[in-house]
Amino acid sequence: RQMCIRDRRRVHGIYKMLNRILGRNLGFLRRALWDKVQPAEMDSIITFQEKFKEDKDPQKVSLVRGVYRTNEEKPYLFKCVELAEKRMANSHLDKEYLPVDGEQNFVKAAKRLVFGDDFNTEKVATVQTLSGTGAVNLGLNFLYRFLPPETGYYIPDPSWPLHFSIAKEVGLRNIFTYPYYDNKKVALNFDGIKAKLLTLKPKSVVILHACAHNPTGIDPTPVQWKAIIDIVKEKKLLPFLDMAYQGFATGDFDRDASAVRLFAKEDVEMLVAQSFAKNAGLYGERIGALHFLCKSESVVKPILSQLKVMIRTSYSSNPMHGAKIVAQICENKELFEMWKEELKTVSGRIQEMRVQLSQKLGLLKTPGNWDHIRKQIGMFSYTGLTPSQCQKLIDKHHVYLLNNGRISITGINLKNIDYIAKSIHDVVINPQT
């Protein structure tokens, strides 16, 4: 028994000595491996979506999420997509890996859609990507690797939040903004854009929204685009155009690609991120493309080789199904014409909701001018509502929107538009209640 006590004392002495040597205590041995991992700050859109799901109010409305819904509040499956899938099923396609740079028929179709049938795409390096988000990520990763570390990256204020998140995530150091929106006029701050771009150093990267600017729904006019291009050429800037809504904005592929094609016509080197999430309803298929318009054909192969290495070491291969759907639609005249007609219908419904909401606020005599809702374009609208008004819409009326006043027009339909208009009217005229 005495030996047992001595052994315990000896062990306790060793334990104390180890404590002094290794630290104050040996708690680190019992500590969980990941206990230093802190909760990440969630994207505000996801946070609002979760709050909306938890809300039990029967009249609740979500104007947050950037996905199309019908008047019946249902997801829309494009008929051209449905037919393309049936044809693919009957052809018994295999499930082999795609080439690293993507489904080649899709790549060709994506180029034509962006640059037009008459454009010589020999100077364009294109790869399939994981939708538009993947295209932006891959493009910024490429620039991070091959442009000098001191390069400045300029993002419009405001912009799609992931432009900033991705830029930080890939390791870019010099991330700045340029003015885009005039809060007082609820309009494009074109003078601010020009003034800022004229101060930039050569080879600075400027992110631009090709059409249907997210979140404002405000695009430059063709004349303003030409002025922007002139400054880009004069200052030797590198534009990176994000085109998430081609065909979805106006129902016209060519009109929505007009800014990109103006840059191409002026032989401006640029990057273009392209998405088929909105314009084909292929949200979950993750289908997009990244295009580099180069000065010379000689650099296309080296750029492609580097992009393929980056894809290969990230996720090895792109998804097949959605890429083959898009290729099938673009290669078949009947399906392509059907796609164009469907996009006219979809964009037409969005525009009709814009007009009706603007009119209803006018009929209610809601203070302020609401014409900007009608004049803006695409999925989103900057309403001009203040953060406190937005919060009251959520708390009092269960109408969910971002606190910067951005709403997704696709969440408006014939069933809820009167309720939305009356709710907006109430928070504007009753700021204290």
Mind telling me the catalytic residues?
160, 242, 278
- Give the 3-state secondary structure of residue 73: coil
Sign for the CA dihedral angle at 117, 118, 119, 122 comes to positive
Q: What does the alpha-carbon distance between residue 213 and residue 276 come to, in Å, rounded to a whole number?
A: 16
> Quick check: 237 and 197 in contact, CB under 8 A?
yes
Q: What does the alpha-carbon distance between residue 233 and residue 287 come to, in Å, rounded to a whole number?
A: 31
Region of 73 (left: φ > 0; alpha: ψ -120 to 50; beta: rest) is left
Distances (CA, A) of 256 to 2, 67, 243, 261, 409: 90, 18, 9, 10, 18
The neighbour count for residue 81, using CB atoms within 10 Å, is 24
Q: What is the CA radius of gyration of the chain?
A: 26
Range list of β-strands (E), 32-73: 61-62
Instruction: For residue 406, count CB atoms less than 10 angstroms from its CB and return exposed for 0-12, middle for 13-18, buried for 19 or more.
Output: buried
Helix (H) or strand (E) segment spanning residue 373: helix 371-375
Q: Which amino acid is at 362?
A: G
Q: What does the alpha-carbon distance between residue 203 and residue 237 come to, in Å, rounded to a whole number?
A: 5
Q: What does the alpha-carbon distance between residue 61 and residue 357 come to, in Å, rounded to a whole number?
A: 15
Region of 102 (left: φ > 0; alpha: ψ -120 to 50; beta: rest) is left
